[in-house]
Structure 1
Amino acid sequence: MGEMLDKAKGHANEAIGKAKRAIGEATDRPDITAEGDAQEAKGDLQKAKGDVKGAINRI
């Protein structure tokens, strides 16, 4: 159960991060661009966490 939740949160954070990065680049706001990069990285980590939980559950 936790695997799917982590992956869903990861995809959401990744999508929001990409949107923030695009907005930051379009408005020439490096602070928003950095926020987007950080949120996208957070999403990547959450997805990886879900993958690990899934692998552990399959053992």
Structure 2
Amino acid sequence: MKPLTNNLELHTAAANRKEIAVLIRKERIGKGVITDITEASVKIGDEWFMRENCSFWLETSK
């Protein structure tokens, strides 16, 4: 997995409809395609995740 650490990476993943994993610390709490992005949060499917509390990771194929 590759971390998405800035707006450009998040918007690129959203535009390319890439599968994203959402983690708090090392625990996966969500997974899916980004449907919306704000300064404070990222929406994956129907759920919003706070950018301050979560990390977002691009699922990479092996």
Structures share fold, TM-score greater than 0.5: no
| Greater helix content | 1
Greater share of residues in strand: 2
Which has the higher relative contact order, 1 or 2, with Cα contacts under 8 A spaced 6 or more apart? 1
Task: Output the TM-score relative to the length of structure 1.
Answer: 0.28
Under a length normalisation based on structure 2, what TM-score does the superposition of the two structures give? 0.27
Highest Rg: 1 or 2? 1
